[in-house]
Chain A
Amino acid sequence: MVFKIFLIVFSLYAIARARRQYHRREASWYWAVVWSFMWLFVIAVALMPQVTDVVANAVGVGRGADLFVYLAVIFLLYATYRSMVHQQKMSEDITELVRKIAVDRPERS
């Protein structure tokens, strides 16, 4: 019960934050909506966990909570991979910039 309340409160906070960011023009309308729907989904799952059991059974997983954890692990692994690729690309871009500045300004005695 405590965890259910925590999930709902945290989701409401996340939705409020997405709304605030949209109004401050720090996030686009598209991302504010996507983000809000994702947290609304979390609230729905917290209120009616039995619904996820139906979906879980349909895809061959015992419980809805297990399905949720499996999906979360897959998503996090993919997000980590994407983040690594992005970071690598950014690092290479910084090096290229530093290199260009260096090569354009050689110093001789």
Chain B
Amino acid sequence: MAFSQSPCLYMRIVAVIPAHNEGARIAAAIADARQFVDHVVVVDDGSTDETAVVAKSSGAIVLRHIINRGQGAAIQTGTDYAVKTLVADVIVHFDADGQMRGNEIPAMVAPIASGEADVVLGSRFLGKDALNMPFVRKIMIRLGTLFTILLSGIRVTDTHNGFRALSRKAAAEIRITLDGMAHASEILDLVKTRRLRYVERPVTISYSMDTLHKGQSTVKAMMTAKEIIKKKIVG
């Protein structure tokens, strides 16, 4: 099993990593996560580079989206596979770009293993550092958090943090239908409506020029908000 810290000892932990053109960084992310989980599932979301090949040779199970469907869709694909095929007890959502730290996975899994929570949400604003986070990004995240509180009524400190852990029960209850970045808000919405127990845990997110370039721009943030509002209207 993944690591020897009781009560996680008897739990099957699977990390799901959505990846789109992450050939240069995916190997390091897999190596980092692998030390703390039983399986790493990489969902190659229609990459045009060597992401799938590198992920496979790094020891991950690779699921290929034949066309790009977005991060939310990739996470749901990986979660489906983890629950149904790998019979995971805990599913950890982890990024491909090396922004997250594998050694924080045990702390994310612990509340599920102890029965304290069904969902554990990583937060950049609970004491640990968000390394090199630009001021504008900080403001955008705060605005996004306020937006989610207003729309979903769930009170969390960091709404768009991709580092999260779900129990098997939570993974069955949470069905992501928003394919893009708005899935993070949809997950929180479902946590609230399905009355799942959740806790937040501090996590470290490191930003580099590369990851900042790939991350959420202001325009992308606006598109994400549009996607969430559209979902509320269309259903």
Contact = CB atoms under 8 A, between A and B. Distances in A.
A11 B206 CA distance: 62
Contacts of B64: 101-102, 105, 107
Given A84-B230, A105-B64, A106-B61, A99 B73 contact: yes
A99 B44 CA distance: 11
A93 to B, nearest CB: 11
A108 to B, nearest CB: 5
Contacts of A105: 63-64
Q: Interface size for chain A: under 10, 10 to 19, 20 to 34, or 35 or more residues?
A: 10 to 19
Nearest to A109: B56
Given A101-B64, A109-B56, 12 more contacts: A81-B233, A85-B235, A88-B230, A95-B179, A98-B69, A99-B76, A101-B66, A102-B65, A107-B56, A108-B56, A109-B58, A109-B59
B43 interface: yes
Interface in A18-42: none
B233 A95 contact: no
Contacts of B77: 98-99, 102-103
A66 interface: no
B85 A106 contact: yes
Name A's interface SS.
helix
A103 B65 contact: no
B35 to A, nearest CB: 17
Given A92-B177, A105-B64, A106-B61, A99 B234 contact: no
Given A101-B66, A106-B61, A109-B56, A95 B73 contact: yes
A50 interface: no
Given A84-B233, A99-B80, A103-B80, A108 B73 contact: no
A102 B43 contact: yes
Nearest to A84: B234
Contacts of A94: 67, 69
A88 B73 contact: no
A102 to B, nearest CB: 4
A108 B39 CA distance: 11
A85 B232 CA distance: 11
Nearest to B56: A109
A48 to B, nearest CB: 39
Given A84-B234, A102-B64, A107 B76 contact: no
B5 interface: no
A57 interface: no
A53 B205 CA distance: 66
A91 B230 CA distance: 13
